[in-house]
């Protein structure tokens, strides 16, 4: 295994959690580097951060995770961004019988200057499989790299072996697909890096640094498939006073940086040849140690460099080419030093770039186009040592931050060079004598400056470079000599003046008067007013000297009123905005000739809106709308069913109008009516808020229900049977029966089971609809958080289960509670008592703070249950299949659904709908509708019946707090008659129908179930667009169920 039987027991009490094999290995490291560490210390804490440990959560054993070690021969050494220091100690030699280091959890190892001759690298290979970073520096005892070294570490990412005595590198070192960085600098490697063109060495290595030392012929060929992820390649040479012949051919699609660096002085005869084909290259640097050879020695061949779009930096020296093979436009830095360049490169210098061409053989004059237009601002051009360069230096050189012209043959320079040579002697160099009695000509475009911030923008000629110590503090160069800024110390105010010194040495200074045209816009507000919107801007500063205008979403804001003392500006935007949302964002912009400032301001169209309203009978009467109606009440009007409803009373929260219809004296038609309210030019409209009830509803109820099935209940004034205790149904024909409640802790689904059949009823979505019933916003209710359950025997044995809708949509909170009790209960909802029979399930849902997009929109809560649609005739227990009208029972208006009877095998499900809801605690009309029934493809029930999903929609008006409160019962129907009356049950050997669930809806929720081929029609025909959209929505609801 490579371990001695026992070295010595070095585990002290503070280290007893570390396995002995790891302590033995750590003692070996201490001895190898002659460290002052002692195992009598708590090594995991005493030597942090050089030693880092990790605790195994299963065994509680400690393991070494990081180790950094070296002797005092390296007193301060920065290694991988960590400053490592140690104290020299003389101690025993490492135990020679330990041939393998045991560090199973070690991820990082940094070592330098080992003191003994061991094959250190091989000692890591067997039992250090977690290594991610291995760094060895300046250890002359490391002589070789073992075969298959990198493949021994399945997690190794960084391998840095620098300044060792490695002379040969096995090529399998690079055959690792975990390594990203390989650094071998400083080794006396004397081999060529022979890369097989057909071999993929590593798909992970991104950085490779490789040295070459002794010998005189180095070959390196790189093809794209050899290292397909390689981004940075550095090749260096070492060896003093030798001749090196080097040929490097690089073809790579991934390489971004190539650096060649010659470290030591070489002899004449040295030659470096580069062929580079790298379309994604960004930087090429071909550097050498500072010395001069008699012969130029760098030759390069760039393959199609004009296509290298990312190529921005090129530095070389000693080259033999007479021109550059690429255009320098858009380069950051181009440097050719001590080369054979004879002409200027083509292109235009970028702002802030550098062109260094000193020591070449350029002749002729300086081309103007290299600094033309608005280019080369704050660039640097160094042309020193080009003796053949003649003529005049362009005036545009005054925009440069550096101009090097010493050792050239130029004969004249722009005035700025003469002005500021003595101020910037290292940045402005030339040999041309300054003319005698030269006085620097300078000027300002204007001594009056209008500013919009804390800086003055100063334009002129020969204004210098804002050199610290030679100019006023706060002066900054934008374009040398032409454009500078000066930061004024005071906050925005009215006209002031200041003395600005541009150069003390040259004597350039001016008195400048300035004024603020600043527009400091702190915050604003937008509110409704009659016929438009009022905009208020709270300003931090504005100057009335400079006229401004204000817009809201590019619409002019007129009737501007501005206070110079409070800095508050108000204005009005005429016209009603396009109301695509209840909560709007308006872009308010204030602008003058010098600046502008904009802010996005949230505002709400808060009125008019009605959240609840009373219903009328056919005689008409006063209609009271509760809601928001503003404060101005300009030209208000109300319409019901298209007829004027004269307003009797109007305040901020209530509107009362008198509705009698036309012609006066006739009975009003029953059913829902569209409501339209206009206040201050803003409109509210709803088709689901208001309804007219029949005046003869009671008598109609008595006639059609056989007096609520022979007196088992009593017809109320809206034509609905109010059943006596233990009776329920549209005709009070049902009594409470059996059934089993099945609670669900995943979602608030009402689940009831009887005779092997399980009924589920669940909410699937909450939708916001516009006036055309088009869905404008929707939340799917398929993700709930179960929060609580209680069993309160003190309240009629009620079991309750609480849920909260988990969603990431806008603000609304949706909470649900399911309650079950085996006792009868009476609960008041909306001022009306609702009786719940024993074994009832009550589902309460609250929707709070729904953010409506428009006052014209309303909510619809969508429910779903699963049915079979091809039930046989004996389905209802009497041998007669129910008709549509037997299944769906409507109110007297023929539209709003009041009851449903749904037949399932020998069971009947009954549903009851109220025609009102609670909106913000107030009772108001609700429209209940069957949305659709969708066949579930390729599904069969246990009785070979095709299944379908029925979707029920309960509409309610815009509200802040919306309450839902349905309930479910298991019921049976007794045999009241003889079989001779249409109200009697059929003469069957089984004298009872089994009714699985009855429903009493005490809120906006209700159940609507379909059976067979139910045909559902509406008086108002929906558009094709709505039908298509609804079909898509329902399909999506099925997918998310």
Whether residues 587 and 656 fall in one domain: no
Q: Which of 693, 722, 745 is the last residue of a domain?
A: 693
| pLDDT above 50: residue 264 | yes
Mean per-residue pLDDT, 352-373: 91
Query: Could you tell me the pLDDT band of residue 898, with boundaries at 50, 70 and 90?
Result: low
Whether residues 556 and 572 fall in one domain: yes
Whether residues 425 and 549 fall in one domain: no
d(Cα 846, Cα 456) in Å, to the nearest integer? 60
**pLDDT tens for residues 840-858?**
777 788 888 888 877 778 8
| pLDDT above 70: residue 389 | yes
- Domain with residue 492: its CATH number is 2.60.40
| pLDDT above 60: residue 557 | yes
Whether residues 648 and 738 fall in one domain: no
CA neighbor of 645 nearest in space, from 629, 665, 634, 661: 661
Residue 638: other Cβ atoms inside 10 A: 26
Whether residues 595 and 613 fall in one domain: no
Whether residues 501 and 354 fall in one domain: no
| pLDDT above 50: residue 415 | yes
CA neighbor of 829 nearest in space, from 922, 756, 748, 761: 922
Helix (H, G, I), strand (E, B) or coil at 460: strand
Is residue 728 one of the residues assigned to a domain? no
CA neighbor of 237 nearest in space, from 185, 281, 283: 185
Q: How far is CA 923 from CA 538, 694, 830, 963, 1002, in A?
A: 42, 19, 5, 11, 11
pLDDT at position 146: 93
Pairing of strands 207-212, 181-183: parallel
If one counts the domains in the chain, the total is 5
Domain of 451, in residue numbers: 444-516
Is residue 718 one of the residues assigned to a domain? no
Q: Which of 437, 462, 492 is the last residue of a domain?
A: 437
Q: Can you name the residues that pair with 315 across neighbouring β-strands? A: 285, 335
571-585, 655-669, 896-910, 939-953: the lowest-pLDDT one: 896-910
User: What is the dihedral angle through the alpha carbons of 725, 730, 734, 738, rounded to the nearest 10 degrees?
Assistant: -90
Whether residues 920 and 823 fall in one domain: yes
Is residue 779 one of the residues assigned to a domain? yes
Mean per-residue pLDDT, 230-240: 84
6-10, 34-38, 450-454: the lowest-pLDDT one: 6-10
Q: How far is CA 310 from CA 144, 198, 232, 327, 957, in A?
A: 39, 28, 14, 13, 60
- Domain with residue 675: its CATH number is 2.60.40.10
- The answer to whether 421 and 398 are in contact (CB under 8 A) is no
d(Cα 507, Cα 504) in Å, to the nearest integer? 5
d(Cα 955, Cα 571) in Å, to the nearest integer? 40
**pLDDT tens for residues 664-718?**
667 888 888 999 999 999 999 988 889 888 777 788 788 888 888 888 888 887 7
**pLDDT tens for residues 884-893?**
334 445 555 5
pLDDT at position 282: 96
- The answer to whether 841 and 741 are in contact (CB under 8 A) is yes
Helix (H, G, I), strand (E, B) or coil at 1037: helix
Is residue 310 one of the residues assigned to a domain? no
d(Cα 648, Cα 653) in Å, to the nearest integer? 14
**pLDDT tens for residues 790-809?**
765 445 578 888 888 888 76
SS3 content of the chain, % helix, strand, coil (to 5): 10, 40, 50
Q: How far is CA 5 from CA 2, 16, 499, in A?
A: 10, 18, 87
Q: Which residues of 389-421 are buried (b: 16+ CB within 10 A; e: fewer)?
A: beeebbebbbbbbbbbbebbbbeebbbbbbbbb
Contacts of 456 (CB under 8 A, 6+ apart): 449, 485, 486, 487, 488, 498, 512, 514
Mean per-residue pLDDT, 950-956: 81
pLDDT at position 427: 96
Which of residues 959 and 66 earns the better pLDDT score? 66
* Alpha carbon 423 to its chain's center: 52
| pLDDT above 50: residue 725 | yes
Whether residues 738 and 885 fall in one domain: yes
| pLDDT above 80: residue 290 | no
Mean per-residue pLDDT, 423-428: 96
285-289, 406-410, 820-824, 933-937: the lowest-pLDDT one: 933-937
Pairing of strands 158-162, 133-137: parallel
pLDDT at position 882: 47
Residue 163 has phi, psi (to 5 degrees) of 55, 45
User: What is the residue whose two structure tokens read 């969708």?
Assistant: 934
d(Cα 800, Cα 542) in Å, to the nearest integer? 62
| pLDDT above 60: residue 902 | no
d(Cα 503, Cα 471) in Å, to the nearest integer? 5
Query: Would residue 44 be called left, alpha or beta, if left means φ above 0 and alpha means ψ between -120 and 50 degrees?
Result: alpha
73-77, 591-595, 713-717, 938-942: the lowest-pLDDT one: 73-77
| pLDDT above 60: residue 1021 | no
Is residue 14 one of the residues assigned to a domain? no
Whether residues 925 and 1019 fall in one domain: yes
Whether residues 495 and 384 fall in one domain: no
Which of residues 442 and 826 earns the better pLDDT score? 442
**Of all residues in the chain, what percent carry a pLDDT higher than 90?**
42
Whether residues 762 and 809 fall in one domain: yes
C-alpha dihedral sign at 659, 662, 667, 670? negative
Average pLDDT, whole number, for the chain?
80
Is residue 235 one of the residues assigned to a domain? no
| pLDDT above 80: residue 583 | no
**pLDDT tens for residues 998-1017?**
333 333 333 332 222 222 22
* Alpha carbon 1036 to its chain's center: 25
d(Cα 745, Cα 787) in Å, to the nearest integer? 9
d(Cα 904, Cα 754) in Å, to the nearest integer? 12
Is residue 153 one of the residues assigned to a domain? no
Number of H helices, E strands in the chain: 7, 73
Q: Which of 463, 482, 516 is the last residue of a domain?
A: 516
Whether residues 898 and 999 fall in one domain: yes
| pLDDT above 50: residue 979 | no
Is residue 796 one of the residues assigned to a domain? yes
**Length of the chain (residues):** 1041
């Amino acid at each position: 295994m490579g371990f001695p039987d026992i070295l010595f027991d070095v585990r002290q009490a503070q280290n007893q959690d570390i396995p002995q094999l790891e302590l033995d290995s750590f003692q070996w490291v201490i001895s190898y580097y002659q460290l002052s560490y002692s195992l009598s210390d708590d090594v995991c804490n005493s030597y942090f951060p050089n030693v880092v440990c990790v605790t195994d959560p299963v065994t509680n054993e400690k393991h070494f995770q990081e180790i950094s070690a070296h002797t005092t021969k390296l007193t301060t050494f920065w290694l991988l961004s960590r400053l490592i220091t140690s104290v020299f100690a003389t101690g025993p030699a490492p135990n020679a019988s330990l041939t393998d280091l045991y560090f199973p959890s070690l991820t990082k190892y940094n070592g330098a200057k080992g003191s003994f001759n061991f094959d250190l690298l091989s000692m890591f290979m067997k039992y250090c499989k977690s290594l991610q970073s291995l760094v060895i520096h300046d250890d002359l005892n490391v002589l070789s790299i073992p075969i298959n070294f990198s493949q021994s570490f399945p997690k190794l990412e960084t391998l840095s072996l620098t300044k060792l005595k490695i002379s040969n590198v096995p090529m399998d070192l690079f055959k690792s697909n975990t390594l990203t960085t390989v650094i071998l600098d400083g080794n006396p490697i004397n081999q060529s890096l022979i890369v097989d063109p057909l071999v993929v060495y590593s798909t992970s290595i991104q950085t490779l640094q490789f040295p070459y030392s002794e010998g005189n012929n180095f070959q390196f060929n790189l093809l794209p498939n050899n290292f397909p992820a390689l981004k940075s390649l550095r090749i260096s040479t070492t060896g003093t006073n030798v001749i090196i012949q080097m040929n490097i051919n690089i073809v790579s699609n991934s390489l971004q940086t190539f650096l060649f660096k010659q470290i030591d002085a070489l002899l004449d005869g040295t030659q470096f040849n580069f062929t580079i084909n790298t379309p994604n290259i960004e930087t090429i640097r071909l550097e050498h140690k500072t010395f001069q050879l008699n012969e130029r020695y760098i030759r390069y061949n760039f393959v199609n460099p004009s296509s290298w779009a990312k190529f921005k930096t090129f530095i070389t020296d000693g080259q033999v080419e007479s021109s550059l093979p690429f255009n320098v436009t858009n380069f950051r830095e181009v440097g050719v030093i001590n080369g054979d360049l004879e002409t200027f490169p083509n292109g235009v210098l970028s702002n802030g770039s550098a062109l260094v061409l000193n020591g070449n053989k350029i002749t002729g004059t300086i081309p103007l186009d290299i600094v033309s237009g608005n280019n080369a601002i704050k660039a640097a051009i160094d042309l020193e040592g080009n003796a053949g360069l003649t003529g005049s230096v362009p005036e545009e050189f005054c925009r440069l931050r550096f101009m090097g012209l010493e050792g050239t043959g130029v004969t004249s320079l722009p005035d700025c060079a003469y002005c500021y040579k003595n101020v910037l002697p290292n940045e402005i160099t030339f040999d041309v004598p300054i003319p005698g009695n030269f006085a620097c000509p300078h000027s300002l475009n204007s001594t009056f400056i209008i500013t919009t911030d804390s800086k003055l923008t100063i334009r002129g000629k020969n204004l210098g470079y804002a050199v610290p110590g030679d100019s006023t503090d706060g002066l900054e160069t934008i374009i040398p000599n032409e454009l500078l800024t000066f930061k004024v110390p005071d906050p925005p105010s009215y006209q002031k003046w200041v003395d600005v010194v541009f150069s003390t040495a040259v004597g350039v200074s001016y008195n400048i008067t300035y004024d603020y045209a600043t527009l400091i816009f702190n915050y604003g507000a937008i509110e409704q007013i009659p016929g438009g919107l009022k905009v208020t801007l709270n300003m931090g500063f504005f100057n009335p000297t400079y006229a401004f205008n204000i817009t809201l979403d590019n619409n002019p804001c007129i009737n501007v009123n501005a206070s110079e003392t409070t800095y508050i500006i108000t204005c009005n935007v005429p016209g009603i905005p396009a109301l695509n949302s209840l909560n709007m964002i308006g872009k308010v912009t204030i602008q003058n000739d010098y600046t502008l400032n904009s802010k996005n301001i949230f505002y709400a169209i808060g009125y008019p809106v009605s959240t609840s309203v009373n219903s009328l009978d056919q005689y008409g009467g006063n209609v009271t709308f509760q809601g928001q109606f503003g404060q101005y009440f300009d030209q208000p009007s109300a319409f019901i069913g298209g007829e004027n409803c004269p307003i009797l009373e109007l305040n901020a929260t209530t509107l009362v109008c008198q509705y009698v219809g036309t012609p006066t004296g006739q009975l009003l038609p029953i059913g829902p009516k569209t409501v339209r309210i206009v206040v201050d030019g803003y409109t509210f409209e709803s088709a689901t808020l208001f309804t007219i009830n029949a005046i003869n509803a009671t008598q109609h109820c008595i006639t059609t229900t056989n007096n609520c099935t022979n007196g088992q209940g009593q017809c109320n004034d809206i034509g609905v049977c109010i059943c006596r205790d233990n009776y329920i149904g549209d005709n009070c024909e049902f009594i409470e029966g059996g059934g089993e409640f099945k609670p669900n802790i995943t979602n608030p689904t009402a689940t009831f089971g009887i005779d092997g059949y399980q009924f589920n009823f669940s909410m699937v979505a909450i939708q916001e609809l516009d006036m055309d019933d088009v869905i404008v916003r929707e939340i799917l209710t398929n993700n709930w958080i179960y929060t609580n359950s209680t069993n309160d025997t003190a309240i009629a044995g009620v079991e309750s289960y609480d849920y909260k809708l988990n969603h990431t949509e806008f603000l609304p909170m949706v909470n649900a509670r399911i309650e079950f009790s085996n006792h009868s209960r009476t609960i008041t909802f909306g001022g009306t008592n609702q009786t719940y029979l024993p074994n009832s399930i009550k589902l309460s849902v609250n929707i709070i703070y729904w953010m409506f997009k428009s006052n014209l929109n309303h909510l619809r809560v969508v429910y779903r249950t699963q049915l079979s649609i091809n039930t046989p005739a004996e389905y209802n227990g009497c041998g007669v299949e129910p008709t549509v009208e037997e299944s769906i029972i409507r109110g007297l208006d023929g539209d709003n659904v009041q009851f449903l009877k749904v037949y399932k095998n020998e069971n009947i499900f009954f549903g009851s709908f109220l025609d009102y809801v609670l909106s913000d605690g107030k009772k108001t009309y609700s429209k209940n509708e069957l949305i659709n029934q969708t066949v579930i493809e390729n599904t069969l029930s246990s009785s070979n019946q095709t299944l379908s999903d029925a979707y029920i929609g309960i509409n309610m008006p815009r509200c802040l707090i919306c309450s839902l409160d349905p309930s479910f019962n298991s019921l049976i129907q007794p045999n009241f008659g003889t079989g001779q009356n249409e109200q009697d049950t059929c003469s069957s050997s089984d004298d009872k129908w089994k009714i699985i669930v009855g429903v009493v809806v005490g809120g906006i929720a209700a159940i609507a179930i379909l059976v067979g081929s139910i045909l559902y029609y509406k008086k108002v025909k929906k558009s094709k667009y709505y039908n298509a959209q609804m079909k898509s929505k329902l399909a999506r609801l099925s997918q998310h169920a």
